[in-house]
Amino acid sequence: MESPFEILGVDPDADDADIVDAYRDRVKEVHPDQGGSVHEFRMVQTAYERIEAGYQPGDPVPDPDPAAGPEPAADDEADEPAEEPAEPPEPDGLRVEYLDYEAIVDQGWSLDDPDLFEAAADADLDEATYGEFYAAEDQPLLEAAEDNDLHWPFACRGGACTNCAVAVVDGEMPSPASHVLPPELFDKGIRLSCISAPVSDDMQVVFNMKHLPEVGELLLPASRFEQARSSE
C-alpha cells in the first residue's frame, strides 16, 4: 500500500514547501474536472493531511477505503480528543472554468444559457474542451491556459486581432484600452485573452470565439505569426 509520501510523489525528507507544491500539483492532476476520480482526489487530500499530522516512514498506513471507517483508538488514548487534521491549502491563483465555443455549437447550447457550464460539467467533455485551471494575478488568460498545457487559438498576441477572443460568462476581466474590439463586442463580454487578465476569484469563460461571425471579421492568419515565432 502506498505511503502518503508516495501518493504525493515526494521524498520523506522533502521540506514543507516541496510537500505543498507536490500536493497542489497532484490535486490538479486527480481533480474530477481534470479527468481524475473522487477516490484519487480524496486519497491525495488524506495523504497531505497525514503528513501534516506528523506521519513518518514506517508508520502504519490506514485502509484508504472510506467504508472501512476510522481506526479504533487505543485504550490509553480513548479519552483524548482527536486532533483536527490540517486543512489542505487551496491552489494558488484565480479559478478559471473554461468551455470551447465549438462544443456549444455541437451540443446545440446557447451562450446565453444560464445553466451552460452546469450542462458542460454533465456532458463528459474532454479536458481540452471543458475544465478548470488557476491563473496567477495579472497573468493574461492565454498565457495561463498555455501554462496548463491547453492550446487555445491566437495569432498576434498583442490585441491586434480576434483570434484569441473569449466570452466572459461570469467574473471580471478588464482589458487594456488598446485593442481592436468594437464597442458592441466589448459590451457583450468579448475579451482578447492575449492581453486581458482575470481579476475575479472565480471565472467562467468560453474560448475559441473566433467562430462567432462578428468576431471572425477581425481574424488574422495564425500561420504568419507562428512562422515568425519559430524562426526567433
Mean pLDDT, the chain, whole residue set: 83
pLDDT of the residue at 51: 85
Residue 156 pLDDT > 60, yes or no? yes
Tracing cell 474536472 back to the chain, one arrives at 33
- Lowest-confidence pick of 77-91, 142-156, 190-204: 77-91
pLDDT tens track for 209-222: 987 888 888 888 75
> pTM value?
0.59
Classify domain 94-230 by CATH number. Answer: 3.10.20.30
Q: How far apart are CA 131 and CA 26, in angstroms?
A: 16
| 4-77 CATH pick, 1.10.3470, 3.40.50, 1.10.287, 3.30.420 | 1.10.287
Average pLDDT for 134-151: 94
Q: Which band of pLDDT confidence, cut at 50, 70 and 90, is reported for residue 24?
A: confident
For the chain, residues classed under CATH 1.10.287 are: 4-77
Q: Which band of pLDDT confidence, cut at 50, 70 and 90, is reported for residue 41?
A: confident
For the chain, residues classed under CATH 3.10.20.30 are: 94-230
